[in-house]
A = this chain, B = another copy of it.
């Protein structure tokens, strides 16, 4: 296998390093803005040098971002090359377009590292689908949020303080919005649902709320009630439809999710025969992510295409009712008062997310 590698940052360099020790694949060219000097790969600055090179059969996209990653990946598929990417935003945003195109062109398209970093999550979903109906997917899919929430819980620190610390340590970006507002998790649960259920979820029908407004007083409140806050995604069958959403969720101390430390992920599926299966590991980082990119490359060598058929478009039905912790100007029905916050009576996911949009300064968490 001859690889054209797009990007030579954290993940790209990891992929290059792992492949150098393998006989079955070789990075031939690296697309990179800077000049790099590698013993056995050519550094190029124009994508054409890769997509127009007939000796390259597979493109690894490790640039991140939507543009020009999308244009480059599209050009690679058009040119008949297999694509492996760790870019969840890309795969999720252009799912409708890239999946059918890859099928039409008869090339492999894989993105295991896009959800769960080093966890073999999407590949295990693919395996699981061979034998059973999957009923539910979801979990802790964002290491930055978990790092922030875990440190707030452990040390009683405030959000801003922990975020600053996370930025210093490289666990959060200078502009943390994609992580803390739940966008990253949103991409991941949509992609996971598409694969688990064999559908194409209308992204706009999936509501998301992040952790930006959480305060130390909320965490104290949770502790007093034996609860721990995590950003948890859910995608599950609901009759003939699907409930799919992302929001902070309060789990019991002692639950498996509550024990997930630092920037780790814990992702779960529930299957008709296997019951609950959860997967814990490094959701990001150079080598774990590169590990799964190389796993994908081996799967491409074995002739694997995508994880599931491209399926019918569906909108999420979030009429399912939950009870919620709300700190803000909640005027709906209240079950309990917890200091400055309340626990609501049952409110549907769609109604609560509509309320959150109108009350952007409130902090809201579902109670599991």
By a beta-carbon cutoff of 8 Å, the part of chain A in contact with chain B is 14, 18, 118-120, 123-124, 127-128, 130-132, 254-256, 258-261, 271-282, 285, 287-288, 290-292, 294-295, 298
Contact = CB atoms under 8 A, between A and B. Distances in A.
B273 A287 contact: yes
A32 B142 CA distance: 50
A282 B132 CA distance: 15
How many copies are assembled? 2
Nearest to A116: B277
A360 to B, nearest CB: 33
Contact of A256 (B131, B132, B260, B291): B260
Given A118-B274, A273-B18, A298 B256 contact: no
A128 B259 CA distance: 25
A291 B273 contact: yes
A278 B280 contact: yes
Contact of A294 (B131, B278, B290): B131
10 contacts: A118-B273, A132-B291, A256-B261, A256-B280, A273-B291, A274-B282, A275-B285, A277-B280, A278-B281, A279-B279
B18 A295 contact: no
B131 A18 contact: yes
A291 B276 contact: no
A281 to B, nearest CB: 4
A186 B36 CA distance: 50
A296 B145 CA distance: 37
Contacts of A127: 120, 123, 295
A69 to B, nearest CB: 23
Contacts of A298: 130-131
A278 B261 CA distance: 13
